[in-house]
A and B are shown apart, each in its own frame.
Chain A
Amino acid sequence: MTVTEIGRVSSLVDTEAERAGTTSPASEQRVGLRTTLFAVLRRLAGGVVVLWLTVTAAFVALQLAPGSVVDALLPVEQRTPEAVAALLTEWGLDRPVWEQYLDYLLRLTHGDLGTSYVLHRPVSEVIGTQLGPTVQLALTGLLVALVLAVLLSTVTAGRPRASRIASGVELAVVSIPEFWLGIVLLVVFSFRLGWFPVAGANGLQSLVLPALTLGLGVVGLVSQVLREGVERSLEQPWALSVRARGSSETALRLRHSLRHAALPVTTLLAWLIGGLFGGVIVVEQVFGRPGIGVVALQAAQGRDLPVVLGVALFSAVVYVAVNTLVDLLALVIDPRLRTEARG
């Protein structure tokens, strides 16, 4: 957004032109911006509703499995009625359900995700300490996917034979499970050639294969959407006029077509984050990396519900945040959306 546009946003309160009923281009633009802002606010509200529903679902899950607190914390031989009662009081499970629910909501707004049954540490701390390697892996994977997708799509778009080969590759890549790809890469590059470490998360060397595995897992869909977009844009009249100005084919594709094709990809981004997060859980297992996936998996197997729900809520927050960002990003990429009225 340019400075003048931000100025326009701030002057939205002033709707004099609208009231006067003038239809100058400027006022049309202003009204368009207003509806855009309204649409963004609506998305924000929608995101909050989704988060609230998720939290409620998490609370219901906690309520549905009440035995698990006792199971997880009290060995069978110590399970006297008094001990169980003391435990329930300690965890606040003897209070009315609605009181627990309000308490749960209140604590969440402070970032308190509860305490792990198994580790006896705050869930936010458990997740926080393992966040680094996972974020590192996810971002590198995303980078790998985006770079490969841009290369694959801009080079092959509009060239029938290359396109067909590329779509075959995309289909294969989409159908390959991440864990198998990871294992094949391990066999070839770690065990046979000895280029990369077999497991762990120490430095860049150990990041190459996991990031490649993760990136290849999602590249297929991105490059497919991107290629279709580039192909469609190359058929537009403006592509001809760019060519007529003497612009090279590469410049046309990189500077113009890619920008047009990027829009559908941004809407994919939210899905992509979900796919990456699912992939991270698997890839961490394959390569023996520490991270949130390992935490979630161990917690699930140990029936450590607060930790599992903490991870789930964390991923929901990321999803909603990305979704909202995507809406804003679309406005940045496509200037036309800023002035067009949207409902």
Chain B
Amino acid sequence: MSTILSRGPVAPLLDDAPTPDGRRPLLVRWGHRLADVGWSVMVASVLLLVVVLVVALPDLFATSGPLDSDPLRAFQPPGPGGLLGTDQLGRDVWSRIVHGARFSILIGAAATGIGAVAGVLLGLLAGLSGRIGDEVVTRGLDVFAAFPGILLAIVLVAVVGPGIPTVIVALGIAAVPRYARIVRAGTLVVRRSGFVEQSVTFGLRRITLVLRHVLPHAVVNVPILATIGLGTAILAASSLSFIGLGPRPPSPEWGAMLADGRNYLSNAWWISVYPGLAIVLVVVAVSVVGRHLQRRLEHREQP
């Protein structure tokens, strides 16, 4: 019974239920899907795959270590031999970018994870508790929404001190209201729907009802929101490093590299410009994929 109940309203959000005989071979379906997405989404996906590889196996791409310096080869301009040039200590800019990928991206991913999980929990809480609980949670979220992520990080650094965990927590907290609001709205809708009332009538335990029926409906939009939020979080993480609140030089974090190279802008622009370009490429790629997913969901919801 419960499967029938839960399946009903979910069905429109899933792909059309496949009939066993009308089903096309897997590869053909993938081919159709690829043709649908357009070149920008494909380029972005490939780029993200490469970035994941770079984060996982930086030594595969880097030509030297992130801290290997060679004072004799300082300030080498970009070119066929040096690829993206070298910085004031003769460190290879390309290798540093490769090794630095994990900082911003993992900080952004961790912050997004914290924000999404906490947002889902708070959203559920607000949606399920009565009017007073709802009001308390919503107002509390308003407080955090009143601060830009950077300011929140500054406050947190002042209270507990600088460091990567501080940055992650600050960006996570800053992202919570976004997820909580959408989950709360979803919860309020599902709560009033007929099948939940029916489940209550059937005497389903409250915890089962919430976990098996309310939660899946309330969180449909969260993965997409998180994809788009990941781009924002990566951007914010590198901004915080740039202003000196994240990983500090000599760590090859992209924002920190930029801050480091700022003193040499007049004679060696490449030290600052290329790490920034890396941030832009990653964030654009994440946003393109996120927006594509969002469009697909909207398309499904209103055919």
Contacts of A308 in B (CB 8 A): 154-155, 158
Asked whether A301 lies within 8 Å of B140 as measured between CB atoms, the reply is no
Given contacts A177-B239, A186-B265, A285-B242, contact A49 B139 (CB under 8 A): yes
Interface residues of A in 172-191 (CB under 8 A from B): 172, 174-180, 183-184, 186-187, 191
Asked whether A309 lies within 8 Å of B266 as measured between CB atoms, the reply is no
Whether A329 is near chain B, meaning CB under 8 Å from some CB there, is no
Asked whether B155 lies within 8 Å of A183 as measured between CB atoms, the reply is no
Chain A residue with the shortest CB-CB distance to B279 = A177
Asked whether A320 lies within 8 Å of B146 as measured between CB atoms, the reply is yes
Asked whether A277 lies within 8 Å of B148 as measured between CB atoms, the reply is yes
Asked whether B142 lies within 8 Å of A282 as measured between CB atoms, the reply is no
Chain B residue with the shortest CB-CB distance to A174 = B287
Asked whether B146 lies within 8 Å of A175 as measured between CB atoms, the reply is no
Asked whether B244 lies within 8 Å of A53 as measured between CB atoms, the reply is no
Interface residues of A in 152-179 (CB under 8 A from B): 171-172, 174-179
Over the window 5-32 of chain B, the binary record of Cβ atoms lying under 8 Å from chain A Cβ atoms (1 yes, 0 no) is 0000000000000000000000000000
Asked whether B159 lies within 8 Å of A191 as measured between CB atoms, the reply is no
Whether B255 is near chain A, meaning CB under 8 Å from some CB there, is yes
Instruction: Determine which of B146, B242, B255, B276 lies in contact with A50 in the assembled complex, contact meaning CB atoms within 8 Å.
Output: B146
Whether A102 is near chain B, meaning CB under 8 Å from some CB there, is no
Instruction: Determine which of A191, A299, A303 lies in contact with B265 in the assembled complex, contact meaning CB atoms within 8 Å.
Output: A191
Q: What's the tally of chain B residues with a CB closer than 8 Å to chain A?
A: 44
Given contacts A282-B243, A305-B158, A312-B155, contact A180 B147 (CB under 8 A): no
Chain B residue with the shortest CB-CB distance to A318 = B146
Asked whether A53 lies within 8 Å of B155 as measured between CB atoms, the reply is no
Whether A54 is near chain B, meaning CB under 8 Å from some CB there, is yes
Asked whether A183 lies within 8 Å of B149 as measured between CB atoms, the reply is no
Over the window 246-274 of chain A, the binary record of Cβ atoms lying under 8 Å from chain B Cβ atoms (1 yes, 0 no) is 00000000000000000000000000001
Stretch at the interface among A57-65, A88-96, A332-340: A57-65
Interface residues of B in 260-296 (CB under 8 A from A): 262, 265-266, 269, 272-273, 276-277, 279-280, 283-284, 287-288, 291
Contacts of B161 in A (CB 8 A): 303
Q: Provide 20 A-B residue pairs closer than 8 Å at the C-beta atoms, listed in order of the A residue.
A: A65-B158, A65-B160, A175-B284, A177-B235, A177-B238, A179-B259, A180-B276, A183-B262, A184-B273, A282-B150, A300-B154, A300-B157, A300-B245, A301-B162, A305-B159, A308-B155, A309-B158, A315-B148, A316-B146, A319-B146
